[in-house]
Amino acid sequence: MRMFFFSVDGSEVQQVGRELVHEGIPCEIRSGLAVSPTACETELWVQNDNDCHRAFMICVQRGIGFAKRAIEPVEVDW
């Protein structure tokens, strides 16, 4: 089992988990570290280490989890 993704936004972690389970990748959601008195990280763990590469690719293809695209364009100051 390997930790795959974490966020203080638990609904985002649940969304990624649902997408992976839909694609046949078993995973588990756990409570993580408290980042403040009012916020706690939620972790997504992939059960089979061999599924991690496929899980990464699903996130990249769908722009979810760690691969979430910025809502607003990022300006680069050259």
Per-domain residue ranges of the chain: 2-67
Long-range contact pairs involving 21-30 (C-beta distance under 8 Å, separation at least 24): 23/54, 23/58, 25/51, 25/54, 25/55, 25/58, 26/51, 27/55, 28/1
Q: Superfamily for 2-67? A: Hypothetical protein rpa1041 (3.30.70.1530)
On whether the CB atoms of residues 28 and 1 are closer than 8 A, the answer is yes
pLDDT in tens, 17-54: 999 999 999 999 998 777 777 778 999 999 999 999 99
pLDDT of residue 15: 95
pLDDT in tens, 58-75: 999 999 998 887 777 667
pLDDT of residue 25: 97
